[in-house]
Amino acid sequence: MKTIDSLGDLRGRRVLVRSDFNVPLDGTTITDDGRIRAALPTLKRLADAGARVVVMAHLGRPKGTPDPAFSLAPVAARLGELLGQDVALAGDLVGESARSTVEGLADGQVALLENVRFDARETSKVDAERQELAGELAELGDAFVSDGFGVVHRKQASVYDIAERLPAGAGELVLTEVESLSRATTDPERPYAVVLGGSKVSDKLGVIANLLTKADRLLIGGGMVFTFLAAQGHSVGSSLLESDQIDTVKEYLAQAEANGVEIVLPTDIVAADSFAADAPHVTVEADAIPDGKMGLDIGPASGELFAAKLADARTIAWNGPMGVFEFEAFSGGTRAVAQGIVDATAQGAFSIVGGGDSAAAVRKLGFDEAGFSHISTGGGASLELLEGKQLPGLTVLAD
Protein backbone atom coordinates (compact mmCIF):
# COMPACT_ATOMS: atom_id res chain seq x y z
CA MET A 1 0.00 0.00 0.00
CA LYS A 2 1.29 3.46 -0.92
CA THR A 3 2.19 5.67 2.05
CA ILE A 4 3.21 9.25 2.78
CA ASP A 5 6.79 8.21 2.01
CA SER A 6 5.80 7.63 -1.62
CA LEU A 7 4.74 11.28 -2.02
CA GLY A 8 8.26 12.70 -1.88
CA ASP A 9 9.20 16.14 -0.61
CA LEU A 10 6.06 17.87 0.63
CA ARG A 11 7.43 21.29 1.54
CA GLY A 12 5.23 23.99 0.08
CA ARG A 13 2.83 21.46 -1.44
CA ARG A 14 -0.88 21.43 -0.71
CA VAL A 15 -1.78 18.07 0.82
CA LEU A 16 -5.42 17.08 1.07
CA VAL A 17 -6.01 14.78 4.05
CA ARG A 18 -9.19 12.77 4.59
CA SER A 19 -9.63 12.41 8.34
CA ASP A 20 -12.50 10.98 10.38
CA PHE A 21 -13.79 13.70 12.68
CA ASN A 22 -17.28 12.27 13.15
CA VAL A 23 -17.20 13.00 16.87
CA PRO A 24 -20.12 12.99 19.31
CA LEU A 25 -21.51 16.41 20.14
CA ASP A 26 -23.68 17.80 22.91
CA GLY A 27 -24.87 20.92 21.17
CA THR A 28 -21.55 22.42 20.07
CA THR A 29 -19.48 20.65 22.74
CA ILE A 30 -17.39 17.66 21.70
CA THR A 31 -17.96 14.90 24.28
CA ASP A 32 -15.25 12.54 23.00
CA ASP A 33 -12.31 13.86 20.98
CA GLY A 34 -10.67 10.45 20.48
CA ARG A 35 -10.93 10.57 16.70
CA ILE A 36 -9.38 14.03 16.56
CA ARG A 37 -6.47 12.94 18.74
CA ALA A 38 -6.00 9.84 16.58
CA ALA A 39 -5.44 12.08 13.54
CA LEU A 40 -2.65 14.12 15.14
CA PRO A 41 0.38 11.97 14.19
CA THR A 42 -0.34 12.30 10.48
CA LEU A 43 -1.23 15.99 10.60
CA LYS A 44 1.84 16.84 12.69
CA ARG A 45 4.10 14.84 10.39
CA LEU A 46 2.80 16.68 7.33
CA ALA A 47 2.98 20.09 9.00
CA ASP A 48 6.52 19.40 10.25
CA ALA A 49 7.47 18.46 6.67
CA GLY A 50 6.37 21.92 5.54
CA ALA A 51 3.20 20.83 3.75
CA ARG A 52 0.20 23.10 3.49
CA VAL A 53 -2.36 20.76 5.04
CA VAL A 54 -5.99 20.84 3.93
CA VAL A 55 -8.18 18.51 5.98
CA MET A 56 -11.47 17.02 4.76
CA ALA A 57 -13.94 15.32 7.11
CA HIS A 58 -17.61 14.70 7.76
CA LEU A 59 -19.80 15.06 10.82
CA GLY A 60 -23.17 13.39 11.24
CA ARG A 61 -25.68 12.89 8.43
CA PRO A 62 -26.55 16.32 7.01
CA LYS A 63 -28.33 14.86 3.93
CA GLY A 64 -26.22 16.50 1.26
CA THR A 65 -26.95 20.11 2.13
CA PRO A 66 -25.41 22.65 4.53
CA ASP A 67 -26.78 22.36 8.06
CA PRO A 68 -25.32 24.50 10.88
CA ALA A 69 -25.98 21.69 13.37
CA PHE A 70 -23.30 19.64 11.60
CA SER A 71 -20.71 22.35 11.04
CA LEU A 72 -17.10 21.35 11.72
CA ALA A 73 -16.53 24.58 13.67
CA PRO A 74 -16.20 22.77 17.05
CA VAL A 75 -13.75 20.34 15.43
CA ALA A 76 -11.62 23.15 13.99
CA ALA A 77 -11.42 24.76 17.42
CA ARG A 78 -10.42 21.53 19.19
CA LEU A 79 -7.97 20.55 16.46
CA GLY A 80 -6.30 23.94 16.78
CA GLU A 81 -5.93 23.46 20.53
CA LEU A 82 -4.35 20.03 20.06
CA LEU A 83 -2.01 21.16 17.28
CA GLY A 84 -1.04 24.37 19.01
CA GLN A 85 -1.92 26.53 16.00
CA ASP A 86 -4.98 28.26 14.62
CA VAL A 87 -6.89 26.01 12.23
CA ALA A 88 -8.91 28.02 9.73
CA LEU A 89 -12.30 26.60 8.81
CA ALA A 90 -13.48 27.26 5.27
CA GLY A 91 -17.11 28.25 4.99
CA ASP A 92 -17.71 25.73 2.23
CA LEU A 93 -16.18 22.63 0.65
CA VAL A 94 -15.06 23.57 -2.85
CA GLY A 95 -16.35 27.13 -3.22
CA GLU A 96 -14.79 30.57 -2.93
CA SER A 97 -14.18 30.27 0.82
CA ALA A 98 -12.38 26.93 0.39
CA ARG A 99 -10.17 28.32 -2.38
CA SER A 100 -9.23 31.48 -0.46
CA THR A 101 -8.59 29.50 2.73
CA VAL A 102 -6.21 27.16 0.93
CA GLU A 103 -4.49 30.03 -0.88
CA GLY A 104 -3.88 31.68 2.47
CA LEU A 105 -1.97 28.75 3.95
CA ALA A 106 1.73 29.03 4.67
CA ASP A 107 4.10 26.06 4.90
CA GLY A 108 3.29 23.98 7.98
CA GLN A 109 -0.18 25.42 8.48
CA VAL A 110 -3.39 23.40 8.71
CA ALA A 111 -6.88 24.32 7.50
CA LEU A 112 -10.17 22.44 7.56
CA LEU A 113 -12.79 22.39 4.81
CA GLU A 114 -16.44 22.43 5.84
CA ASN A 115 -18.33 19.13 6.19
CA VAL A 116 -17.85 17.05 3.01
CA ARG A 117 -21.38 15.68 3.41
CA PHE A 118 -22.81 19.15 2.88
CA ASP A 119 -22.36 18.19 -0.79
CA ALA A 120 -24.64 15.37 -1.95
CA ARG A 121 -22.06 14.27 -4.51
CA GLU A 122 -19.79 13.00 -1.71
CA THR A 123 -21.93 9.94 -1.04
CA SER A 124 -23.60 9.62 -4.45
CA LYS A 125 -24.05 6.14 -5.91
CA VAL A 126 -23.51 7.66 -9.36
CA ASP A 127 -19.81 7.43 -10.23
CA ALA A 128 -19.84 10.53 -12.41
CA GLU A 129 -21.27 12.70 -9.63
CA ARG A 130 -18.65 11.57 -7.11
CA GLN A 131 -15.90 12.00 -9.67
CA GLU A 132 -17.06 15.54 -10.43
CA LEU A 133 -16.70 16.49 -6.76
CA ALA A 134 -13.36 14.70 -6.55
CA GLY A 135 -12.15 16.77 -9.49
CA GLU A 136 -13.12 20.00 -7.74
CA LEU A 137 -11.42 18.84 -4.54
CA ALA A 138 -8.29 17.88 -6.47
CA GLU A 139 -7.93 21.49 -7.65
CA LEU A 140 -7.29 22.41 -4.01
CA GLY A 141 -4.38 20.02 -3.55
CA ASP A 142 -1.19 18.57 -5.00
CA ALA A 143 -1.33 15.24 -3.15
CA PHE A 144 -3.78 13.19 -1.10
CA VAL A 145 -3.35 11.35 2.20
CA SER A 146 -6.04 8.90 3.31
CA ASP A 147 -6.16 8.89 7.10
CA GLY A 148 -9.88 8.49 7.92
CA PHE A 149 -9.98 4.80 8.76
CA GLY A 150 -13.60 5.05 9.82
CA VAL A 151 -14.61 5.72 6.19
CA VAL A 152 -12.25 3.54 4.14
CA HIS A 153 -15.03 1.00 3.65
CA ARG A 154 -17.02 3.66 1.77
CA LYS A 155 -16.67 4.39 -1.94
CA GLN A 156 -17.03 8.14 -1.57
CA ALA A 157 -15.58 11.15 -3.35
CA SER A 158 -13.21 12.28 -0.57
CA VAL A 159 -12.14 8.71 0.20
CA TYR A 160 -11.95 6.79 -3.07
CA ASP A 161 -12.34 8.99 -6.13
CA ILE A 162 -9.89 11.67 -4.95
CA ALA A 163 -7.18 8.99 -4.67
CA GLU A 164 -7.52 8.37 -8.39
CA ARG A 165 -6.99 12.06 -9.14
CA LEU A 166 -3.89 12.90 -7.09
CA PRO A 167 -0.69 11.19 -5.94
CA ALA A 168 -1.99 9.32 -2.90
CA GLY A 169 -0.82 7.44 0.17
CA ALA A 170 -2.07 6.10 3.48
CA GLY A 171 -1.57 8.14 6.62
CA GLU A 172 -0.16 7.00 9.96
CA LEU A 173 -3.56 6.13 11.44
CA VAL A 174 -4.71 4.02 8.49
CA LEU A 175 -1.41 2.12 8.48
CA THR A 176 -1.65 1.43 12.21
CA GLU A 177 -5.25 0.29 11.90
CA VAL A 178 -4.55 -2.08 9.01
CA GLU A 179 -1.44 -3.54 10.63
CA SER A 180 -3.24 -4.08 13.93
CA LEU A 181 -6.37 -5.64 12.44
CA SER A 182 -4.23 -7.84 10.21
CA ARG A 183 -2.87 -9.49 13.35
CA ALA A 184 -6.41 -10.65 14.10
CA THR A 185 -7.27 -11.71 10.56
CA THR A 186 -4.04 -13.22 9.22
CA ASP A 187 -2.56 -16.11 11.21
CA PRO A 188 -3.47 -14.80 14.70
CA GLU A 189 -1.60 -16.11 17.72
CA ARG A 190 -3.81 -18.63 19.52
CA PRO A 191 -6.02 -19.03 21.42
CA TYR A 192 -7.92 -16.41 19.41
CA ALA A 193 -11.01 -15.11 21.21
CA VAL A 194 -13.56 -12.72 19.73
CA VAL A 195 -16.15 -10.86 21.78
CA LEU A 196 -19.19 -9.71 19.80
CA GLY A 197 -21.96 -7.51 21.16
CA GLY A 198 -24.20 -4.76 19.96
CA SER A 199 -27.87 -4.87 19.21
CA LYS A 200 -28.41 -6.99 16.11
CA VAL A 201 -27.17 -10.30 14.74
CA SER A 202 -28.00 -9.03 11.25
CA ASP A 203 -25.32 -6.34 11.60
CA LYS A 204 -22.65 -9.00 12.06
CA LEU A 205 -23.74 -11.91 9.86
CA GLY A 206 -20.67 -11.79 7.62
CA VAL A 207 -18.32 -11.32 10.55
CA ILE A 208 -19.71 -14.32 12.42
CA ALA A 209 -19.57 -16.51 9.32
CA ASN A 210 -15.93 -15.57 8.71
CA LEU A 211 -14.89 -15.96 12.35
CA LEU A 212 -16.35 -19.46 12.50
CA THR A 213 -13.46 -20.45 10.24
CA LYS A 214 -10.78 -18.48 12.12
CA ALA A 215 -11.49 -17.94 15.83
CA ASP A 216 -11.16 -20.44 18.67
CA ARG A 217 -13.88 -18.84 20.80
CA LEU A 218 -16.77 -16.50 20.15
CA LEU A 219 -18.21 -14.74 23.19
CA ILE A 220 -21.66 -13.37 22.41
CA GLY A 221 -23.35 -10.57 24.38
CA GLY A 222 -25.42 -7.47 23.82
CA GLY A 223 -28.85 -7.42 22.22
CA MET A 224 -27.78 -9.99 19.63
CA VAL A 225 -27.50 -12.68 22.31
CA PHE A 226 -31.28 -13.04 22.56
CA THR A 227 -31.50 -14.36 19.02
CA PHE A 228 -28.90 -16.97 20.01
CA LEU A 229 -30.88 -17.89 23.13
CA ALA A 230 -34.07 -18.13 21.08
CA ALA A 231 -32.27 -20.39 18.60
CA GLN A 232 -31.58 -22.72 21.54
CA GLY A 233 -35.28 -22.78 22.31
CA HIS A 234 -35.32 -20.37 25.25
CA SER A 235 -37.89 -17.65 25.89
CA VAL A 236 -36.40 -14.15 25.89
CA GLY A 237 -39.34 -12.15 27.28
CA SER A 238 -39.63 -8.75 25.61
CA SER A 239 -35.91 -8.58 24.81
CA LEU A 240 -34.65 -7.48 21.41
CA LEU A 241 -35.15 -10.42 19.06
CA GLU A 242 -34.59 -10.87 15.34
CA SER A 243 -36.96 -13.73 14.64
CA ASP A 244 -35.97 -13.84 10.98
CA GLN A 245 -32.38 -14.67 11.97
CA ILE A 246 -33.12 -17.63 14.26
CA ASP A 247 -32.57 -20.24 11.54
CA THR A 248 -29.31 -18.56 10.52
CA VAL A 249 -28.11 -18.61 14.12
CA LYS A 250 -29.01 -22.29 14.40
CA GLU A 251 -26.78 -22.90 11.39
CA TYR A 252 -23.98 -20.92 13.05
CA LEU A 253 -24.25 -22.99 16.22
CA ALA A 254 -24.07 -26.20 14.20
CA GLN A 255 -21.13 -24.93 12.16
CA ALA A 256 -19.28 -23.86 15.28
CA GLU A 257 -19.66 -27.34 16.76
CA ALA A 258 -18.48 -28.92 13.52
CA ASN A 259 -15.45 -26.60 13.34
CA GLY A 260 -14.52 -26.96 17.00
CA VAL A 261 -15.20 -23.28 17.69
CA GLU A 262 -16.47 -22.62 21.20
CA ILE A 263 -19.55 -20.38 21.38
CA VAL A 264 -19.80 -18.78 24.82
CA LEU A 265 -23.22 -17.39 25.74
CA PRO A 266 -24.26 -15.64 28.97
CA THR A 267 -25.51 -17.78 31.84
CA ASP A 268 -27.41 -14.91 33.46
CA ILE A 269 -29.06 -11.71 32.26
CA VAL A 270 -29.95 -8.38 33.86
CA ALA A 271 -33.61 -8.01 32.89
CA ALA A 272 -35.58 -4.78 33.28
CA ASP A 273 -39.21 -3.72 33.11
CA SER A 274 -38.46 -1.14 30.41
CA PHE A 275 -35.68 0.51 28.44
CA ALA A 276 -34.75 3.27 30.87
CA ALA A 277 -31.80 4.19 33.06
CA ASP A 278 -33.87 3.89 36.23
CA ALA A 279 -35.98 0.90 35.19
CA PRO A 280 -36.55 -1.72 37.94
CA HIS A 281 -34.39 -4.73 37.11
CA VAL A 282 -33.43 -8.17 38.34
CA THR A 283 -30.75 -10.73 37.49
CA VAL A 284 -32.21 -13.96 36.09
CA GLU A 285 -30.94 -17.15 34.51
CA ALA A 286 -30.36 -16.70 30.79
CA ASP A 287 -32.76 -19.52 29.99
CA ALA A 288 -35.50 -18.15 32.24
CA ILE A 289 -36.15 -14.54 31.26
CA PRO A 290 -39.68 -13.74 32.51
CA ASP A 291 -42.39 -12.63 30.10
CA GLY A 292 -42.66 -8.85 30.00
CA LYS A 293 -39.01 -8.26 30.97
CA MET A 294 -36.24 -7.26 28.59
CA GLY A 295 -32.59 -8.15 28.92
CA LEU A 296 -30.38 -5.04 28.98
CA ASP A 297 -27.04 -6.55 30.04
CA ILE A 298 -25.28 -9.82 30.66
CA GLY A 299 -25.30 -10.73 34.36
CA PRO A 300 -22.43 -10.75 36.88
CA ALA A 301 -21.83 -14.50 36.60
CA SER A 302 -21.59 -14.10 32.83
CA GLY A 303 -19.10 -11.27 33.25
CA GLU A 304 -16.90 -13.59 35.32
CA LEU A 305 -17.34 -16.39 32.76
CA PHE A 306 -16.38 -14.15 29.85
CA ALA A 307 -13.33 -12.82 31.70
CA ALA A 308 -12.24 -16.41 32.42
CA LYS A 309 -12.62 -17.30 28.74
CA LEU A 310 -10.35 -14.38 27.83
CA ALA A 311 -7.68 -15.05 30.45
CA ASP A 312 -5.53 -17.43 28.38
CA ALA A 313 -6.18 -15.84 24.96
CA ARG A 314 -3.23 -14.60 22.96
CA THR A 315 -5.28 -12.61 20.45
CA ILE A 316 -8.53 -10.83 21.34
CA ALA A 317 -10.88 -8.80 19.14
CA TRP A 318 -13.85 -7.01 20.70
CA ASN A 319 -16.66 -5.37 18.77
CA GLY A 320 -19.86 -4.29 20.49
CA PRO A 321 -20.88 -3.69 24.12
CA MET A 322 -22.41 -6.37 26.33
CA GLY A 323 -25.38 -4.24 27.34
CA VAL A 324 -26.73 -0.72 27.50
CA PHE A 325 -23.50 0.61 28.98
CA GLU A 326 -24.76 4.21 28.75
CA PHE A 327 -27.04 3.37 31.71
CA GLU A 328 -24.98 2.69 34.85
CA ALA A 329 -27.29 -0.11 36.00
CA PHE A 330 -26.65 -2.01 32.77
CA SER A 331 -22.93 -1.34 32.30
CA GLY A 332 -21.55 -4.16 34.44
CA GLY A 333 -21.18 -6.70 31.65
CA THR A 334 -19.29 -4.33 29.36
CA ARG A 335 -17.09 -3.29 32.29
CA ALA A 336 -16.30 -6.93 33.12
CA VAL A 337 -15.33 -7.72 29.53
CA ALA A 338 -13.18 -4.61 29.24
CA GLN A 339 -11.39 -5.48 32.48
CA GLY A 340 -10.92 -9.05 31.32
CA ILE A 341 -9.30 -7.82 28.12
CA VAL A 342 -7.06 -5.42 30.05
CA ASP A 343 -5.96 -8.25 32.33
CA ALA A 344 -5.25 -10.57 29.39
CA THR A 345 -3.33 -7.81 27.61
CA ALA A 346 -1.18 -7.34 30.69
CA GLN A 347 -0.33 -11.02 30.42
CA GLY A 348 0.85 -10.64 26.83
CA ALA A 349 -2.29 -10.94 24.72
CA PHE A 350 -2.69 -8.72 21.67
CA SER A 351 -6.05 -6.97 21.99
CA ILE A 352 -8.11 -4.91 19.57
CA VAL A 353 -11.14 -2.84 20.53
CA GLY A 354 -13.13 -2.56 17.31
CA GLY A 355 -14.21 1.05 17.24
CA GLY A 356 -17.69 2.50 17.50
CA ASP A 357 -19.61 1.79 20.69
CA SER A 358 -16.86 -0.43 22.09
CA ALA A 359 -14.32 2.39 21.96
CA ALA A 360 -16.87 4.80 23.41
CA ALA A 361 -17.56 2.36 26.24
CA VAL A 362 -13.87 2.05 27.09
CA ARG A 363 -13.63 5.80 27.52
CA LYS A 364 -16.99 6.30 29.22
CA LEU A 365 -16.28 3.57 31.77
CA GLY A 366 -12.95 5.16 32.65
CA PHE A 367 -10.47 2.60 31.33
CA ASP A 368 -6.95 3.65 30.44
CA GLU A 369 -6.65 3.26 26.68
CA ALA A 370 -3.07 2.10 27.18
CA GLY A 371 -4.48 -1.08 28.71
CA PHE A 372 -5.47 -2.29 25.24
CA SER A 373 -3.08 -3.03 22.40
CA HIS A 374 -5.14 -1.10 19.86
CA ILE A 375 -8.39 0.85 19.94
CA SER A 376 -9.78 1.22 16.45
CA THR A 377 -11.37 4.45 15.25
CA GLY A 378 -13.60 2.67 12.74
CA GLY A 379 -16.52 0.50 13.74
CA GLY A 380 -17.84 -0.40 10.29
CA ALA A 381 -14.39 -0.56 8.70
CA SER A 382 -13.11 -2.79 11.51
CA LEU A 383 -16.07 -5.12 11.10
CA GLU A 384 -15.57 -5.41 7.37
CA LEU A 385 -11.88 -6.25 7.78
CA LEU A 386 -12.81 -8.90 10.37
CA GLU A 387 -15.31 -10.13 7.82
CA GLY A 388 -12.50 -10.52 5.30
CA LYS A 389 -13.77 -7.89 2.86
CA GLN A 390 -11.72 -5.70 0.55
CA LEU A 391 -12.24 -2.04 1.44
CA PRO A 392 -12.44 0.49 -1.44
CA GLY A 393 -10.50 3.19 0.37
CA LEU A 394 -7.62 0.75 0.87
CA THR A 395 -7.63 -1.01 -2.51
CA VAL A 396 -7.34 2.35 -4.28
CA LEU A 397 -4.04 2.89 -2.43
CA ALA A 398 -2.53 -0.39 -3.60
CA ASP A 399 1.03 -0.20 -4.94
Distance CA 143, CA 16 (A): 6
Say whether both 211 and 81 belong to one domain. Answer: no
- Classify the phi-psi angles of 315: left when phi > 0, otherwise alpha if psi is within -120 to 50, otherwise beta: beta
- pLDDT confidence tier of residue 71, bands split at 50, 70 and 90: very high
Let me know if residue 280 belongs to a domain: yes
Q: Is residue 13 part of a domain?
A: yes
Please indicate whether residue 236 or residue 389 has the higher confidence score (pLDDT).
236
Report the relative pairing of strands 88-89 and 52-56 from DSSP bridges: unpaired
- pLDDT confidence bin for 312, thresholds 50/70/90: very high
> In the predicted model, what is the mean pLDDT of residues 46-60?
98
- Looking at the structure, do residues 204 and 96 belong to the same domain, yes or no? no
Q: Is residue 399 part of a domain?
A: no
Question: Quick check: 261 pLDDT over 90?
Answer: yes
Ligand-binding site membership of 358 (annotated): yes
Q: Is residue 117 part of an annotated ligand binding site?
A: yes
Residue 95 domain-assigned? yes
Q: Give mean pLDDT, residues 39-52.
A: 98
Q: What's the average model confidence in pLDDT over 91-98?
A: 98
Q: Is 355 annotated as a binding residue?
A: yes
Query: What is the number of alpha carbons within 13 Å of residue 43 lying toward its C-beta?
Result: 27
Q: What is the pLDDT of residue 311?
A: 98
If one counts the domains in the chain, the total is 2
Same domain, 149 and 207: no
233 and 252 assigned to the same domain: yes
Looking at the structure, tell me whether residues 110 and 211 fall in a common domain.
no
N residues, the chain = 399
Q: Looking at residues 243-255, what average pLDDT do you find? A: 96
Residues marked active site are found at 35, 200, 356, 380
Tell whether residue 40 is among the known ligand binding residues. Answer: no
State the DSSP code for 3.
B
In this prediction, what percent of the chain has a pLDDT beyond 70?
Answer: 100
Average pLDDT over residues 38-67: 97
Assess whether 160 and 197 both reside in one domain: no
Task: Let me know whether 197 and 214 are in one domain.
Answer: yes
Burial of 326 (0-12, 13-18, 19+ CB in 10 A): middle
Decide if pLDDT at 236 tops 90.
Answer: yes
**Structural domain span for residue 232:** 180-387
Query: Do 162 and 286 lie in a common domain?
Result: no
Query: Which tens digits make up the pLDDT trace of 263-278?
Result: 999 999 999 999 999 9
Regarding whether 204 and 275 lie in a shared domain, the answer is: yes
pLDDT over 90 at 18, yes or no: yes
Give the pLDDT score at 389: 87
Q: For the whole prediction, is pTM greater than 0.85?
A: yes
Q: What's the whole-number average pLDDT of the chain? A: 95
What is the pLDDT at residue 354? 86
Q: Does the annotation place 60 within a ligand binding site?
A: yes
Annotated binding residue 259:
no
User: 115 among the known binding-site residues?
Assistant: no
The annotation status of 371 as a binding-site residue, yes or no, is no
Residue that is last in its domain, among 120, 155, 172: 172
CATH at residue 222? 3.40.50.1260
pLDDT category at 386 given cuts 50, 70, 90 is confident
Distance between start and end Cα atoms, the chain? 5
Residue 204 confidence (pLDDT) above 90: no
Q: Are residues 117 and 246 in the same domain?
A: no
Calculate mean pLDDT across residues 292-304. 98
Residue 107 has pLDDT above 90, yes or no: yes
Nearest C-alpha neighbor of 181 from the set 379, 390, 392, 374: 374
Pairwise CA distance, residues 123 & 153, whole Å: 12
315/188 Cα distance (integer angstroms): 6
Q: 150 and 189: one domain? A: no
Judgement on whether residues 372 and 277 belong to the same structural domain of the protein? yes
pLDDT above 70 (res 12): yes
Which of 23-27, 224-228, 275-279 shows the lowest per-residue confidence on average (mean pLDDT)? 23-27
| 339-348 core/surface letters (b: 16 or more CB in 10 A; e: else) | bbbbebbeee
Whether residue 231 is contained in a domain is answered as yes
Given 108, 139, 172, the domain boundary residue is 172
Does residue 309 lie within any of the structural domains?
yes
- Of the residues 110, 140, 172, the one at which a domain ends: 172
346 in a domain, yes or no? Answer: yes
% of the chain exceeding 90 in pLDDT: 89
* Residue 82: inside a domain: yes
pLDDT level of residue 89 (50, 70, 90 thresholds): very high
Q: What pLDDT was estimated at residue 150?
A: 93
Q: In this predicted structure, what is the pLDDT of residue 355? A: 67
320-379 residue pLDDT tens? 999 999 999 999 999 999 999 999 999 999 999 986 789 889 989 999 999 999 999 888
354 is in an annotated binding site: no
pLDDT at site 263: 97
- 35 assigned binding-site residue: yes
Angstrom distance (rounded) from CA 247 to CA 312: 32
